Amino acid sequence: MADAARSAQNLSPQTESYRAATRLIERLHRLYLDVIRAELDRLGVEDLSAVQALLLANIGTAEVNVKTLMERGYYQGSNASYNLKKLVEAGYIEQFRSSHDRRATIVRLTARGLALCHQIDASEEQFATGFGNGSTHFTEMVARMTDLERGWTDQIRFGPNS
């Protein structure tokens, strides 16, 4: 059936694989958010969404400029602002102005945020250990996904065939 659909659309096997990979990335992201949600439920955390927990994990132990979070492509402006506000209100992060540039807002995890981040890290460690038993599959997969990210970024910045 997939071969018939491909030939009906005149897609090359490479294009079909690319299309399958992009659809898989989208499904995996949604599934990963469900995994985080399940972990939050297991931990009894009810005041945090999966997206907000992922934001905490992306901040980690660093002090991060809010603009940097958005430039890294993690969050869009209004989503980042809303989620950061909720995280401040819930006591997971604190916000303050940069001493070097008073216009810049810096965020860092509070003790509560760090504790939850460590629990999420432990869950990821346990889950990762269950896959591959030290194989290089994840390393190779990340390298290919990084190539894809770089290609998409170049496509956005410089146009096709960059």
For 80-94, how does the pLDDT look when each residue is reduced to its tens digit (9 = 90+)? 888 989 999 999 999
Yes or no: is domain 2-130 CATH 3.90.1150.200? no
For the ranges 39-43, 69-73, 132-136, the lowest mean pLDDT is seen at: 132-136
Sequence-distant (≥ 6) Cβ neighbours of residue 36 within 8 angstroms: 50, 53, 54, 120
Q: Are 16 and 9 in contact (CB under 8 A)?
A: no
The predicted pLDDT at position 130 comes to 78
The predicted pLDDT at position 120 comes to 92
The predicted pLDDT at position 70 comes to 76
The predicted pLDDT at position 20 comes to 95
pLDDT digits (tens, 9 = 90+) for 120-130: 999 988 888 87
CA 27 to chain centre: 13
Distances (CA, A) of 134 to 8, 127, 128: 42, 12, 9
